[in-house]
Amino acid sequence: MNLNFFGTNKIFYVLAGIIIFLILISLVFILGKSGGGGVQDAKINFWGAYDTRQDVSEVIKAFEGANSGVKITYTQFAYEDYERALVDALAAGTGPDVFMIHHTWLAGHKNKLSPIPTTSSVKDYKFMTPTDFQGQFVEVVNKDLISDGKIYAMPLYVDTLALFYNRDMFNTAGITHPPKSWDEFNEDVKLLTKFDNSGNIVQAGAAMGTAKNINRSTDILSALMIQNGTKMNNTTNTAATFTRSVSTVKVGENALQYYTDFANPLKEVYTWNDSQHYSLDAFTEGGVAMMFNYSHQIPIIQKRFSRLNFAVAPMPQFSELDAKTYANYWAVGVSAKSKYQEAAWMFTSYLGSREGSSIYLSSTARPAARRDVIDVQRNDPKLGVFAVQALTAKSWYQIDNNAVDQIFADMIDNVNLKRQKLRAAMQAAESAINTLTSRRP
């Protein structure tokens, strides 16, 4: 009896041990597959537009080195094809895990993004909180990339419009320093603009006033509106409101009037028209003394004409006490459909960290979004102006940035070609944007 009892128990314990072992293996497997794929054996597809593989290779290598279970594959698209390819792929379930978004895209693509997790399955790892985010990055990204108290993307950098000016032309005209205010800018334009005997512009003071032959013309107009105190949207971002007066002043109309005056032959500041070469070409050819653009144009200009004696200065202001610049940048988000959301967000968070950001910015030569890296870049001869301007950068809610660009360009043309009065042109543009906004997802 006793021997049989112990024999039976032995078999029972062996079987119980096997069952427990199988349960533990199953739990490990299930836990490894739950929570969006975990961080082990994660194969992350990363899509972008302007950055090349070389631009992101070092930061990817650094992250993979610290996270051996993660493999990241980057694919670059032409900007013209990128948004459509991304939307189509995400809809078909074949999209990337991580992808770059323009800073205005959260308005139209929020439903495609997964917000940053609040907890991690990795021991001692903590994701950034909205409070952390607000303390580490410049203010404009807080408004662009946080929604309903959740972080939806990490900024890679923040670029801003700045004044590019031809040193030789300034010296010849006896101008000792770039304009700090728009009043100084007006006076400099008058000194720098040259006409022939027939009244044709032979040297433009600035690329200002038109739409199609000025690179980033609609951004320049937006910057003027924001600087002038225009309320671009209502508080809920459900409607554009740039036609509305502020303290009885038609600030939006005044900004549009100011911008188009530079293309009006009847105005003292007349300096530009639709027959001028494209602004970037005119600047490198020595046909215009000033233009407004972003930092990424510096190497392009230098490559096209290495002997061009030019410099970059901060954007002129209406008020010295309330500086405002205009932001343009890309951020990185995680697909709501990714199987590896935790690993994807760990990589995205690394891109936004001081270490990851420094590696990326060193490869791309772009101005920082992080406050602590701005302190490093502020004395950089090429990036310093743009880095410091990120602290005062502004943007505005746009449901479709490409469509808004076209609407603003049409508004400028309608005024210049006298197809519409100033106010009518602005009202038509506002109405068109509100129609777009009403269709948002």
pLDDT tens digits for range 383-393: 999 999 999 99
Tokens of 316: 């002129």
Q: What percent of the chain has pLDDT over 70?
A: 91
pLDDT band at residue 12 under the 50/70/90 scheme: very low
Do 388 and 403 fall within a single domain?
A: no
Contact 187, 205 (CB under 8 A): no
Same domain flag for 52 and 143: yes
Tokens read off for 373:
């890296």
Q: Which residues contact 277 (CB under 8 A, 6 or more apart)?
A: 213, 285, 287
Same domain? For 198 and 341 the reply is: no
- Same domain, yes or no, for 98 and 193? no
Domain assignment of residue 247, yes or no:
yes
Q: Work out how many domains the chain is built from and give that number.
A: 2
For residue 313, tell me if it sits in a domain: yes
Q: Does some domain include residue 83?
A: yes
Lookup: tokens for 377: 């870049």
Concatenate the DSSP letters of all residues of 216-241 into one string: THHHHHHHHHHHTT---B-TTSSSB-
Q: Are residues 292 and 423 in the same domain?
A: yes
Asked whether residue 16 is domain-assigned, the answer is no
Look at residue 108 and tell me whether its pLDDT is greater than 50: yes
Query: pTM, whole model, 2 decimals?
Result: 0.90
Range of the domain at 247: 160-327+399-438
Same domain, 170 and 47: no
Judgement on whether residues 369 and 403 belong to the same structural domain of the protein: no
360 and 241 in one domain? no
Q: What percent of the chain has pLDDT over 90?
A: 88
Residue 9 above 60 pLDDT? no
For residue 147, pLDDT over 80 is answered with yes
Same domain, 225 and 301: yes
pLDDT reading at 11 higher than 90: no
Residues 277 and 412 in one domain: yes
Report the pLDDT value the prediction gives residue 23, as an integer from 0 to 100.
43
Whether 197 and 312 share a structural domain:
yes
Q: Are strands 42-48 and 70-76 parallel, antiparallel or unpaired?
A: parallel
Q: Mean pLDDT, the chain, as a whole number?
A: 92
| CATH at 124 | 3.40.190.10
Residue, of 25 and 424, whose pLDDT is higher? 424
User: Are 116 and 212 contained in the same domain?
Assistant: no
- Is residue 33 situated within a structural domain? no
Residue 426 lies in a domain: yes
In tens, the pLDDT along 327-365 reads: 999 999 999 999 999 999 999 999 999 999 999 999 999
